[in-house]
Structure 1
Amino acid sequence: MEFLSLNTLPATDELLHGILKQVSRSFYLTLNVLPVGVRDQMGLSYLFARAADTIADTDLIDRAQRLKYLNQFRAQFTTAGIDWNAIREIQTALIPHQKDSGESILLQRLEDCFKLYEACSVGDQERIRWLMEVLPRGMEMDLTRFPGESSSQLTALSTLDELDRYTYYVAGCVGEFWTRMVCAHRQTMANWNVPEMSAIGVRFGKGLQLTNIVKDIGRDLQNGRCYVPESLLAEAGLKPADLLIEASLPRFRPVLDQLIGLAMDHLDQGWIYTMAIPVSEIRQRLACMWPILLAGETLKRVAVAPDLLNPAVNIKAPRSVVYRAVALTTLTCANAFVATTYWDSLRKQIGPA
């Protein structure tokens, strides 16, 4: 078992944090809640995941080229050394097309990110390498499974198994990665059964991704993507195109309730995961509590939203609710009774599937 910090000098640490501040100040602030010993590895992994996502989402470049650059990016984690020419090719092709300043900065600093990766311990490199082999499969699935860019080219997933596979690629694997990383670096986690807790961590990640799917359904439909499986829609007498009509929401509700119930079942497993974290690991507990509680607050609003299928609507917990959840759990030092009471209350408000 490895209990070492990222093998970096202070200047390297400053480099990573400088990039994170430039790319996403909100994520940088969230990152600071993580315990020492895993903070930098998680930050670097976030930058790589966001870079892969940026490559896949640059819609001003055709899909074949995006797939090429995505595979070129992923290959850097499987070869003996970094192909710096390949990195520069990605930068040259993609930077001019970025609308978001954070994504543009990230691509400009991509070489620095890989230098940080080279400075990681062998164990951390292996864990990040594993993540960057699995995570981009979800982005590749988006590019190949959904060939259109608009509602006129709408395509849906076929089955629940396909949805489950997709949620594993884009989020479930992060729970597995997280477990491996904290167990390698936090002495208090040494007694965890890594395979068992990784499996629960996978459920945690899937629950968060399903929450994103149901809250963003209107916008995804407009972009030609229906993550709601055709098999579920057929049970309600619906086709994917029916969801483009806002008046279809009442008929869609039973399907929505089923997806919300599935998300809640996954998040319940995430709560079990969180409560298994040693009491002394307050930072790690908070880092797990917050996304679950905010996902629950979001699902509560999704379940009753009258305009869910409207692509202009952005359903999320208001800032006051976010601040309340953060304050309550922080001021009580991630107390299990207080936080679980909050979660149970949310569970009842959302109701059974």
Structure 2
Amino acid sequence: MGLAYLLARAADTIADTDLIGRDQRLWYLNMFRDQFRGDEVQPQAVQSIQAGLLPHQTDSAERVLLERLPDCLALYRKFEQGDRERIRWLMDVLPNGMEMDLTRFPGSSAQDLSALERPEELDRYTYYVAGCVGEFWTRMVCAHRPAMKHWDVDRMSAIGVRFGKGLQLTNIVKDIARDLHNGRCYVPTQWLDEVGLKPADLLRPGSLPMFRPILLRMIRQAVEHLDQGWLYTMALPRFEIRQRLACMWPILLAGETLKRVATAPDLLDPTVNVKAPRSVVYRVMALTTFTGACGYVGTAYWGRLRKQIV
């Protein structure tokens, strides 16, 4: 799981290195994906990725990750076949979201603003960047945790997809102003048309009242996905405490964030960061940890929280 995370971060670093052109980033991203489409080592391709990207890394952690990319790929190839296949699948699906960002949003500023057109595109995007992670997580833990052997893997993977989509929708509504000013409108124009808005209108903080019905629709959709995530969490055996906490924390913190997004008067101001304060983060972590990820306590918290959101 840790290695899959590092490989996903490496792909994300390739896609986000904006000091090189989009076409070049797409080329490197596809070169990276090719490393998982066969069992042969391609050292020249990895060296090409490093040569093209390392000079542009200002973040030390991302630089170290790219430097150690050959070690990550070597470790991946030592895994047993089932784990390799699961990681291979993830590395084939997850970069589709990065590719969508690079192709659907060709600009990088408000002057070059582009938008998704249909709700189906938004749903597909949230699957690529987060929903597929829920599916991967499910299949991986079912393969390795004896307590999970009773799960219907296909059914729970589908619920895991909803879980991931809910978290990603939360990120989208939370970061809407920042994304708009970076040239990306994830709100489908089909929805904006319903209230007489264009993507560029959202650059004006004063358009929030007109936009609010669409915002609340996206928030309700996120909550519905997170409800499925909570069902997923409660289906985990009670003694799988670490797994339960790993699911409880993002759901409860997403709920705390959505509660603030729904009422934020300055949501469309890119200088404002709407999120749960650190004190709330500590409270959520303490409550769920000290009660041993108790389902009754967590469910009561989530139930009260979701009523405050919608």
How far has the Cα of 1:87 moved from its partner?
A: 0.6
What is the CA–CA distance in structure 2 between the aligned matches of 1:317 and 1:101, rounded to whole Å?
27
The residue identity in structure 1 corresponding to 2:139 is: R
**1:176 matches 2:147:** no
TM-score (norm 1): 0.87
Deviation per CA, 1:62-119: give whole Å up to 9, x if none.
0110000000000000022121111111011101111222111111111111111112
**1:133 matches 2:92:** yes
SS at match of 2:94: helix
SS at match of 1:89: helix
Residue 266 (structure 1) aligns with: 225
Which runs of 5 or more structure 1 residues have no equivalent in the other structure? 1-41
Deviation per CA, 1:260-290: give whole Å up to 9, x if none.
0000000000000000001111111110000
TM-score (norm 2): 0.99
What is the CA–CA distance in structure 1 between the aligned matches of 2:221 and 2:162, rounded to whole Å?
10
What is the CA–CA distance in structure 1 between the aligned matches of 2:91 and 2:38, rounded to whole Å?
13
Deviation per CA, 1:300-352: give whole Å up to 9, x if none.
1111111111111111111110111011001000000000000001101112x
The residue identity in structure 2 corresponding to 1:269 is: Q
Deviates more, 1:109-118 or 1:180-189: 109-118
Residue 114 (structure 1) aligns with: 73
The residue identity in structure 1 corresponding to 2:24 is: Q
Residue 146 (structure 1) aligns with: 105
Deviation per CA, 1:23-64: give whole Å up to 9, x if none.
xxxxxxxxxxxxxxxxxxx11111011110110111110011
Residue 15 (structure 1) aligns with: none
**1:295 matches 2:240:** no
What is the CA–CA distance in structure 1 between the aligned matches of 2:60 and 2:186, rounded to whole Å?
28
The 8 Å contact of residues 195 and 211 in structure 2, kept in 1 or not, is answered as: yes
Residue 152 (structure 2) aligns with: 193
Residue 41 (structure 2) aligns with: 82
Which residue, out of 267, 287, 292, partners 1:308?
A: 267
Residue 207 (structure 1) aligns with: 166
**1:104 matches 2:63:** yes
Which residue, out of 114, 119, 131, partners 1:160?
A: 119
The residue identity in structure 1 corresponding to 2:31 is: Q
What is the CA–CA distance in structure 1 between the aligned matches of 2:124 and 2:236, rounded to whole Å?
27
What is the correspondence of 1:10-89 to structure 2 with a 5 Å cutoff? 42-89=1-48
SS at match of 1:314: coil
The residue identity in structure 2 corresponding to 1:74 is: R
What is the CA–CA distance in structure 1 between the aligned matches of 2:147 and 2:305, rounded to whole Å?
30
Residue 285 (structure 1) aligns with: 244
Residue 323 (structure 1) aligns with: 282
The residue identity in structure 2 corresponding to 1:239 is: K
How far has the Cα of 1:135 moved from its partner?
A: 0.1
The 8 Å contact of residues 14 and 28 in structure 2, kept in 1 or not, is answered as: yes
Deviation per CA, 1:134-192: give whole Å up to 9, x if none.
00000001101111111111000001111000000000000000000000000000010
What is the CA–CA distance in structure 1 between the aligned matches of 2:76 and 2:203, rounded to whole Å?
43
What is the CA–CA distance in structure 2 between the aligned matches of 1:280 and 1:164, rounded to whole Å?
34
Which runs of 5 or more structure 2 residues have no equivalent in the other structure? none
The residue identity in structure 2 corresponding to 1:230 is: T
The residue identity in structure 1 corresponding to 2:51 is: T
Residue 216 (structure 1) aligns with: 175
What is the CA–CA distance in structure 1 between the aligned matches of 2:41 and 2:112, rounded to whole Å?
38
The residue identity in structure 2 corresponding to 1:110 is: L
Identity of aligned residues (%): 70
Residue 94 (structure 1) aligns with: 53
The residue identity in structure 1 corresponding to 2:118 is: T
What is the CA–CA distance in structure 2 between the aligned matches of 1:276 and 1:340, rounded to whole Å?
12
Deviation per CA, 1:211-270: give whole Å up to 9, x if none.
000000011001100000001111111000000011101111100000000000000000
What is the CA–CA distance in structure 2 between the aligned matches of 1:332 and 1:254, rounded to whole Å?
38
The residue identity in structure 1 corresponding to 2:112 is: Q
The residue identity in structure 1 corresponding to 2:241 is: I
Structure 1 runs of 4+ off > 6 angstroms?
Answer: none
